[in-house]
Amino acid sequence: MKIVKTEKLAVFTHHCPTFLNYPEQYKGDVLNEAFAVELHHLIELSEIAFWVYGHHHCNTPEFFISKSQLITNQLGYVQRNEHQLFEANKCIDL
pTM score of the predicted model: 0.85
- Where are the domains positioned within the chain? 9-80
User: Phi and psi (nearest 5°) for 43?
Assistant: -65, -40
Is the pLDDT score of 46 beyond 80?
A: yes
Q: What is the DSSP letter of 65?
A: E
Q: Is 60 in contact with 40 (CB distance < 8 Å)?
A: no
Q: What is the DSSP letter of 55?
A: S
Please write the tens of the pLDDT for every residue from 20-32: 999 888 889 999 9
- 14: helix, coil or strand? coil
